[in-house]
Amino acid sequence: MDYTDEIRKRRTFAIISHPDAGKTTLTEKFLLFSGAIQVAGAVKSNKIRKSTASDFMDIERQRGISVATSVLGFDYNGLKINLLDTPGHKDFAEDTYRTLTAVDSVILVVDCVKGVEEQTERLMEVCRMRNTPVIIFVNKLDREGKNPFELLDELETKLNIKVQPLSWPISMGTSFKGVYNLYNSSLYLFRPGGVTVADDVLAIKGLDDPVLDQQLGDYAVKLKEDVELITGTHDPFDANAYLRGELAPVFFGSAINNFGVKELLDTFTEIAPTPGSRPTDQRTVSSDEKNFTGFVFKIHANLDPRHRDRIAFIRVCSGKFERNKMFHHVRMGKNIRFTSPASFLGARKSIVDEAFPGDVIGLYDTGNFKIGDTLTEGEKLMFQGIPTFSPEVFKELVNLDPSKSKQLTKGIEQLTDEGVAQLFTQQQGNRKIVGTVGVLQFDVLQYRLEHEYGARCRFETMAIHKACWVTADDERSMEKFCRFKADRIATDKDGNLVFLAESAWVLKTMIEANPEITFHFTSEFKREMQV
Ligand code: G4P
């Protein structure tokens, strides 16, 4: 198969949702349809119900295949699908944001009873920032949910995107009858607990087909009215608007009942984008370029204490990745060869000899990689759009066992490389401050520092509202600002200056009073400055 066919075959995406909307269930049904798994229950939910570190660790361990589940590869209709897993808990949202940099499109699951929830909105904002194409799946139609027209309105206003239903529900809850596919005019009849099989799908000749009345009785009248309203207010579906990230097609179904899932998967494979081009600090890299490029979007520690190594997940952006070939690690300026890169099929992990754009490979790492690192065949470029967000919760790291300071330093260095948290060193007093986007990470850090590095520590609350990176064109202005706010200045791991604002008011005042200083809320500025 030639190189461009390999690219055309690939679809790399993530399923995202507010916890409990049905992401795990939908993932499992996709894997069942593709034959990657044979039994239900094989995919473990990664949500953390009790929100404690040991829960998190237990879940990671129970998953066992936690590394493998970071990406689930499967074949469907002659295509190679890469489904990237995202954590369920909101405290790990940053991990999800980073995973979204490695996909070409997204399926967003919404619970029809709850509608658009907080986490859905935040995730969607990230997709909108990058114009990632989104398909929406409204789930749990076997329950009495919100009116579908109301839901469409809510999706459009809360998610700030134009939506277009490609299927339409016929009633819901106990009287749920099925969905009418507006895309190909077929009728899918619902049988609770059943699997949608060919017999349940009726190809009808539009809404005037008598089969519709025979099957649906009074519900047919309501369906015809609804469809008239939809077609009256929507233009025919524009797949290009979807690909530009301007229009989100909407499907209705019930993941647990396997209803509407195959239809969603079939449409997804038909319209979802193939691996696209990506911006770097030098130029845009197109997927069909022959030279290999890729970037690290996730680092996962192997939680098995007997094996300390970590796995860096690389998204291939262009060219062909080959096992045992020398590649250039741009940030470190050195060449590295990978002898056992891993690929993933369902829950199985295997050594891969080659990988193409859209694929995700796991590279065993002994400390060479940080999130955002780029590998090339020698060209000096760094992929952009993999930001670190300014953290929202801050605590001081206090060592409880001075004889283990080395272990603590090493542990916190490595864990912050993984993106679990960010480390700042306050200039006055050399205090180590850890910043995260959620409180759960502190428990996770403490647990992992103790169990993986033998270092005991405590985290002390600090009155910091936000940390933002500061830059200035003129060195003297920066020196003046740092002198003036000396007790509030720290450096991040790369030595960049960071301002620790004690309150939103202080931050606002500082921004207004210091026009010569630029305050940055994501780490993207570092790359801009390297150009
Ligand atoms: P998540 O990954 O997005 O967090 O959601 P998950 O798939 O774990 O689903 C959350 C709950 O919703 C599960 O129930 C699941 O069975 C249920 N669910 C998923 N799809 C549907 C659907 O189409 N209809 C209905 N009625 N329920 C659905 P649970 O009780 O929390 O877990 P479990 O004991 O069933 O595993």
Say which amino acid occupies 242. Y
The residue to mutate among 20, 86, 96, having the most atoms of ligand 1 within 8 angstroms of its beta carbon, is: 20
* CB-ligand 1 contact for 23 (6 Å cutoff): yes
Which atom of ligand 1 is found nearest the CA of 46? 2
What is the spatial distance between Cα 69 and Cα 92, in angstroms, rounded to a whole number?
16
Alpha carbon distance 68, 85 (integer Å)? 9
> What is the distance in A from the centroid of ligand 1 to the CA of 22?
5
Distance 23 CA to ligand 1 centre (A): 8
Ligand 1 pocket check: which of 114, 256, 264 to mutate, most ligand atoms within 8 Å of Cβ? Answer: 256
CB atoms within 10 A of CB 354: 16
* Residue 92 DSSP symbol: G
User: Can you tell me which atom of ligand 1 is nearest the CA of 47?
Assistant: 4
* Least confident range of 54-68, 170-184, 477-491: 54-68
| Ligand 1 site-directed mutation target among 17, 18, 25, most atoms within 8 Å of CB | 25
Q: How many CB atoms lie within 10 A of CB 186?
A: 15
Does ligand 1 lie within 6 Å of residue 83's CB atom?
Answer: no
| Ligand 1 contact, 146 CB (< 6 A) | no
Q: Is the CB of 20 under 6 A from ligand 1?
A: yes
* CA dist., res. 7 & res. 464, Å (int): 47
For the Cβ of 142 lying below 6 angstroms from any atom of ligand 1, the answer is: yes
Q: Which atom of ligand 1 is nearest to the CA of 139?
A: 23
CB 109 within 8 A of CB 264: no
Centroid of ligand 1 to alpha carbon of 232 (angstroms): 35
Which strands sit side by side in the sheet containing 348-351, from one edge to the other? Answer: 334-337, 326-329, 374-376, 293-301, 310-318, 360-365, 342-345, 348-351
Q: How far is the CA of 485 from the centre of ligand 1 (A)?
A: 50
Q: 21 CA to middle of ligand 1, Å?
A: 7
Q: Is 145 in the pocket of ligand 1 (CB under 6 A)?
A: no
The 10s digit of each residue's pLDDT in 350-406 is 889 999 999 999 998 888 898 889 999 999 999 986 666 678 899 999 999 999 999
Q: Would you state the pLDDT for residue 51?
A: 41
The full 3-state SS of 156-190, as one line of letters, equals HHHHCCEEEECEEEECCHHHCCEEEECCCCEEEEC
Instruction: Give pLDDT, residue 475.
Output: 92
pLDDT in tens, 104-159: 999 999 999 999 988 888 888 888 888 999 999 999 999 999 999 999 999 999 99
Of 58-62, 65-69, 152-156, which gets the smallest average pLDDT?
65-69
Per residue in 404-445, pLDDT (tens digit) is 999 999 889 888 887 778 999 997 777 899 998 778 788 888
Which residue's alpha carbon is at the smallest distance from atom 30 of ligand 1? 20
What's the whole-number mean pLDDT along residues 23-50? Answer: 69
Integer angstrom CA distances of residue 491 from 150, 183, 399, 410: 48, 54, 20, 18
- The H or E element containing residue 216 is helix 210-216
CA of 444 to the centre of ligand 1 (A): 26
SS3 category, 493: coil
Q: What is the pLDDT of residues 390-409, one digit of tens each?
A: 788 999 999 999 999 999 99
| Cβ within 8 Å of residue 512, ≥6 positions away | none
Distance CA 195, CA 192 (A): 8
CA dist 408 and 426 (Å) reads 17
Query: Which of the residue ranges 6-20, 40-54, 351-365, 366-380 would you say has the lowest mean pLDDT?
Result: 40-54
**With a 6 A CB cut-off, is 47 part of the ligand 1 pocket?**
yes
Give the lowest-confidence range in 90-94, 240-244, 261-265, 356-360: 90-94
Percentage above 70 pLDDT, the chain: 85
Model pLDDT, residue 415: 84
